[in-house]
Amino acid sequence: MRSLTTIDGKPDAEAFVAYLLTVGISTHVEPASDPSSKSFTENPPGNPPGISDTQPTDAWEVWIKNEDRLPQAKEELQTFLANPKDPKYAAALKQANLILREQRQEAKLRQRNIQSPNLGNQRPSMFSGKLPPLTLTLLILCCVFSLLTAFSTPANENRLGLSIVKQLKFVDMDLFAKTNDPTASLQRGELWRIFTPAFLHGSPLHLLMNMLALASLGRLVERLVGIRRYAVLLLLIAAGSHLTQGLLGENVLGIQGLSGSPNFVGISGVVMGLFGYIAVKSRMRPDLGFGLSGQSYFMVGILLVMGFAGDIFGKEGGLQMANFAHLGGLVAGAILGFLSEAGRS
């Protein structure tokens, strides 16, 4: 940690420290007139970054935590001294507080819910703690709709189940049988179908496996990014997964058997997207203190290979799965994970 400068006046010191934080430079601030007094970091509770109301002095010494950023900090200081009333410094206070709030949330998540790098080989369960609200809601909806529809194959007398399947699949299958157009229902304005196939499942085992995966990955992401961003993330991943699966036709790239289909169910594409999001985000942000095991990467790879091999070489040798939903969700999640971190730099 290196001393950068001393700034007279709390408002100017706050504005400059906040601006440095928005460009990725972490600081430590303390009263300049009393080196032995209590010092303050970037986020004291209830105050803007770095400054306390408890000290009588009005001179503040700014330290740079990462010495590699000192040259950049000196350049920013010269710009600030040339025009300390530039509106960008006042605007930085609000943005800095948002950054600090996110950092505190991430710190709490690491403490309560995620493996710490200091734990060595100890690997706490990803199922620890209560399910956050949106993940819990998804679990309940998937279970309820799966049971009401007898796992997407309702009997003729089960009118409610028949209606649910008809309305939630990517396309109304009766309409698809007449038109052979996977977009037939979407063209009627039924855009909810882009997302709702996730609530249906094909068997008790299908439901169980997806719910276990959603409970682990979903709780992790929801606590990491918050319920609002998590909701947006789920919608974007579902769109990437379901549109890829539903709109791709037969024999993609001219490969016999490598085909999409609008007749699919399950939330596994979304789960694969959450996996891709965590994989990329944890690689780009090792400071988050968590990551996916090598075994999980292996299992996802095997799932994709077996699924596509089953399409190409016949169902006898593989699994009947919505493989393009898996691939589309994985790619969408990975891209969103990359964008979430690229936007921070």
For 20-39, give the DSSP string: HHHTT--EEEEETT-TTSPP
Residue 56 clears pLDDT 90, i.e. is over it: no
Specify which residues 27 forms β-bridges with: 64
pLDDT score recorded for residue 61:
87
Q: 220: which 2 tokens?
A: 């992790």
pLDDT score recorded for residue 320:
62
**Of 27-36, 106-115, 274-283, where does the model show the most confidence?**
274-283
Residue 219 clears pLDDT 50, i.e. is over it: yes
Under the banding of pLDDT at 50, 70 and 90, the label for residue 124 is very low
Residue whose structure tokens are 């699994």: 319
Question: Which residues have CB under 8 Å from 93's CB, separation 6+?
Answer: 14, 15, 18, 48, 49
CATH fold group of domain 133-342: Rhomboid-like fold (1.20.1540)
CB-count burial class (<10 Å; 0-12, 13-18, 19+) for 306: middle
Average pLDDT, the chain: 83
Under the banding of pLDDT at 50, 70 and 90, the label for residue 262 is very high
How wide is the angle at C-alpha 149 spanned by C-alphas 146 and 155, nearest 5°? Answer: 150
Residues composing the chain: 345
Domain locations in the chain as residue ranges:
2-113, 133-342
pLDDT in tens, 263-280: 999 999 999 999 999 999
The predicted model scores a pTM of: 0.64
pLDDT in tens, 168-205: 999 999 999 999 999 999 999 999 999 999 999 999 99
**Separation of alpha carbons 88 and 92, rounded Å:** 6
**Separation of alpha carbons 27 and 217, rounded Å:** 34
CB-count burial class (<10 Å; 0-12, 13-18, 19+) for 339: exposed
Q: What is the CA radius of gyration of the chain?
A: 26
- Looking at residue 53, what DSSP letter applies? T
**Separation of alpha carbons 81 and 289, rounded Å:** 37
Under the banding of pLDDT at 50, 70 and 90, the label for residue 344 is low
Under the banding of pLDDT at 50, 70 and 90, the label for residue 115 is very low
CB-count burial class (<10 Å; 0-12, 13-18, 19+) for 171: buried
